């Protein structure tokens, strides 16, 4: 395929041998969310603590009309919210998904993980058994790329321009959540 850049149309793609076929590439606007998940799987973030933290962040200029500034997250972001889904959920990348492998034999474990997660949602064990070698592993021992976290609540920075919290942002989030991990979620 050759790429022809035509003013007003963006890049049209046509076959190197002209077969008359043109493709208009779809511009996929994806969004990146930075999700802060408490290290304690069953920790639920206190809504009142978040409400008062948000007011304080607005006063100190870290949030402007609800949008996190570059003081909190690299490049700033569009909005942020507290997520409390009411059950354990997997906080994970969406566009392109994520992959799970057995730490013992290296086989894919997407299916056993998904099945185990169904039970874990409502309090079942956070463990999955490899169909290939039979080894049962706690979720945290599974090899997962990109990283995921299971939790019952999270503080979500939506549509961020960078992929890391600033030091100040990290401390501010820790004051609300306690110890936490960051999951990046690309959404189409």
Residues in contact with Zn ion by CB under 5 A are 102, 104-105, 107, 130, 132-133
- How far are the Cα atoms of 39, 52, 66, 148, 154 from residue 55, in angstroms, in the given order? 24, 5, 10, 29, 18
Q: How far is the CB of 183 from Zn ion (least distance, A)?
A: 24
DSSP 144-176: EES--EEES-EEEEES-SSSSB-HHHHHHHHHH
Nearest to 160 by CA among 45, 95, 72, 84: 72
Q: How far is the CB of 107 from Zn ion (least distance, A)?
A: 5
Nearer to Zn ion, 71 or 136 (CB): 136
Q: How far is the CB of 16 from Zn ion (least distance, A)?
A: 45
Residue 13: in which H helix or E strand, if any?
A: strand 10-14
Q: How far is the CB of 44 from Zn ion (least distance, A)?
A: 33
Nearer to Zn ion, 135 or 184 (CB): 135
Nearer to Zn ion, 139 or 157 (CB): 139
Question: Quick one: CA dihedral 138, 141, 146, 147, positive or negative?
Answer: positive
Nearer to Zn ion, 80 or 130 (CB): 130
Nearest to 132 by CA among 150, 156, 112, 159: 112
Nearer to Zn ion, 79 or 129 (CB): 129
Nearer to Zn ion, 102 or 182 (CB): 102
Spatial distance between the Cα atoms of 16 and 3, rounded to a whole number of angstroms: 9
Q: How far is the CB of 127 from Zn ion (least distance, A)?
A: 13
Nearest to 34 by CA among 176, 158, 174: 158
Q: How far is the CB of 97 from Zn ion (least distance, A)?
A: 20
Question: Quick one: CA dihedral 92, 97, 98, 100, positive or negative?
Answer: positive
């Amino acid at each position: 395929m050759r790429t022809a850049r035509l003013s007003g149309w963006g890049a049209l793609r046509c076959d190197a041998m002209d077969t008359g076929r043109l493709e208009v590439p779809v511009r996929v606007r994806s969004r990146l969310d930075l999700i802060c998940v408490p290290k304690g799987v069953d920790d639920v973030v206190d809504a009142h603590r978040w409400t008062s933290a948000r007011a304080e962040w607005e006063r100190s200029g870290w949030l402007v009309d609800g949008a996190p500034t570059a003081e909190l997250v690299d490049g700033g972001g569009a909005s942020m919210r507290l997520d409390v889904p009411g059950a354990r959920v997997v906080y994970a990348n969406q566009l392109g998904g994520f992959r799970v492998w057995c730490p013992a034999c290296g086989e894919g474990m997407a299916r056993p993980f998904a099945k185990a997660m169904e039970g874990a949602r409502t309090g079942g064990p956070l463990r999955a058994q490899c169909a290939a070698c039979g080894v049962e592993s706690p979720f945290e021992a599974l090899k997962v790329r990109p990283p995921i976290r299971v939790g019952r609540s999270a503080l979500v920075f939506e549509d961020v321009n960078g992929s890391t919290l600033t030091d100040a942002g990290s401390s501010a989030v820790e004051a609300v959540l306690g110890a936490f991990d960051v999951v990046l979620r690309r959404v189409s």
